[in-house]
Amino acid sequence: MKILKLNSWLLGSVFLLCFSLSSCGNSEMSDPSPTPDPDTDPDIEDNTSPNIAINNWIQEIMDDYYYWNSTMNTPLATDADPEDYFENLLVDQDHFSIIYPNYLDLINSLEGVSKEAGYEYILFRASQTNQNVIAIILYVKKGSPAEAAGLMRDDIVTEINGTTMTLSNYQSVLSGIDEDHTLTVARFDQSLNNGEGSYAFLNDPLSMSTVVFSENPVFMDSVYTIGSNKIGYLVYNFFSPGVEVNPNDNVTYGVYDQELDEIFADFKSKGVNELILDLRYNGGGYVTSAVNLASLIGSGISAGDVFYKTKYNSGLQAYFTQTYGADYLNNKFLDKAANIGGQLSSGTVHIIATGGTASASELIINGLSPYMTVKLIGETTYGKNVGSAVFEDDENEDNHYGLLPIISQSFNSLDQSEYSNGFDPDVESNEFDDGRLLPLGDINETMLSAAISQITGEAAGSRTIKKNRIDRIELENSVRNTERFGIMIGQKPLKIIK
């Protein structure tokens, strides 16, 4: 009998189990005619491809855990390249399973730790009449080198390290931001163009240093008093608990989760009666933080109510049910003193969402919907109702790969899970609708203004810029290029006996 220990992480777009995989197969069975060992028999020369052991490991994981394990494609030869071997197994409807060359690099990225300057951007073709490419800064991370250098949201980057980006070179030019670099920046100046404003280049390029940086996902919060409405506003860029605070054996509570609790306690004490949750850049994160946030928002919920359910392939589903009981995979709300659901006048949470709103963010939308009205402002969300698991091979030191196959699907308490094509907005809005990006939190900022208008029935403020949507073709969005995009990371220690 073999014991496969599953680490205390769960990762996924629904949730993911981070597996530390020991050996494969049934240890109670033995080969009556063992193969000579080239390490102990000098007459035997070992010409075996190292890919065989790696691909056998891949195959066993996929046989046991892959959500569509009964309909996988026929495997390639066992000495094939491991990336080709893995990708060939995937079914047609699977657009998410991934193999990574290095497991440790993957884990660091999923935890939000990376070497960077600290900014996110979107790339556009500058004009239909030329080949130039520009990057528009979406947001600058708090406490980052980019913030210290003075980079701002809405800045337009035309050169990196003195090289103009074009359709033919922008990918290679962008590789330069992994190390220290300079940005040539044009910034909006309201004093130009007879007071209507226009963009002008800064006198000197901005110097960006890169460091190993850990981003705080709680970007900002505010309270707006508009008429009889006290509107709480939270910009939350990914789900992460942060460094542990007084952990016990099975629960990890982090500083970022604690910060959210404090924000909602402040909302509650100030009499907030409407809520806008800004998830436009939130592509996923820890399930525990998603449960924590949902528990602060849900209306009429209690600690025993189901937030979401997870379902696996038939073998895993039967194992979990038989071993732990049918209720084991029902993930429930927490009892939170700072919950403001009961004081929301409309019984509605207004969520700002885009195509970059994925996985754990969509779990919030789907999981809260049975308990309250969820109104979306923005664009159709990404659409990921299936979850992955991170696997490593800790027995074969020559196998550095990390696997991220789909192993599950997420459902809310009403067994609803039909959002593989994303959630469509109730109110359409694009943050470039007004021609440029105002600071996040400015009530005239396009998407926040649209959300406030849904609450008040009136325009949020007096806009000083003309409605002139930028008609450009998006080439790339850095928020959607991170390894953690579309991922949810949770915590529930499991042990499977095989």
Q: Is the pLDDT of residue 195 over 70?
A: yes
pLDDT value of position 404: 86
Rounded to whole angstroms, the Cα distance separating 133 from 135 reads 7
- pLDDT for res 96: 87
How far apart, in Å, are the Cα atoms of 363 and each of 283, 341, 423? 11, 17, 11
Instruction: Give first-to-last CA distance, the chain, whole Å.
Output: 6
Fold exhibited by the domain 114-212: Pdz3 Domain (2.30.42)
Over range 73-91, report the average pLDDT: 97
DSSP 480: G
**CB distance 385 to 328 below 8 Å:** no
**pLDDT tens, residue by residue, 234-260:** 999 998 888 777 655 555 578 999 999
Q: What is the mean pLDDT of residues 141-160?
A: 97
CA–centroid distance for 481 within its chain: 10
pLDDT digits (tens, 9 = 90+) for 438-494: 999 999 999 999 999 999 998 665 544 444 445 567 899 998 887 667 665 544 333
Lookup result for tokens 């556009």? 124
pLDDT digits (tens, 9 = 90+) for 20-67: 443 333 333 334 444 455 445 544 445 689 999 999 999 999 999 999
In terms of DSSP H, where are the helices of 79-166? 82-89, 103-110, 145-149
Could you tell me how many residues make up the chain? 498
439 DSSP assignment: P
Among 157, 169, 148, which residue's Cα sits nearest to residue 120?
A: 157
In terms of Cα–Cα distance, which of 383, 380, 372 is closest to 350? 372
pLDDT of res. 389: 79
What is the pLDDT confidence band of residue 497, given thresholds at 50, 70 and 90? very low
Q: Which residues contact 438 (CB under 8 A, 6 or more apart)?
A: 154, 444, 445, 446, 465
**Residue 251, C-beta contacts closer than 8 angstroms, at least 6 positions apart:** 491
Spatial CA neighbour of 111 closest among 220, 201, 5, 241: 241
pLDDT at 123 over 90: yes
Fold of 215-469+483-497: 2-enoyl-CoA Hydratase; Chain A, domain 1 (3.90.226)
Question: Mind listing the pLDDT tens digit for each residue in 300-339?
Answer: 999 999 999 999 999 999 999 999 998 999 999 999 999 9
Q: Which residues, 6 or more positions from 135, have their beta carbon under 8 angstroms from its beta carbon?
A: 121, 122, 123, 156, 157, 165
Sequence ranges of the domains in the chain: 114-212, 215-469+483-497
Q: How many CB atoms lie within 10 A of CB 375?
A: 17
pLDDT for position 10: 41
Q: Is 364 exposed, middle or buried (0-12, 13-18, 19+ CB in 10 A)?
A: buried
19 pLDDT higher than 80: no
The pLDDT value given to residue 254: 87
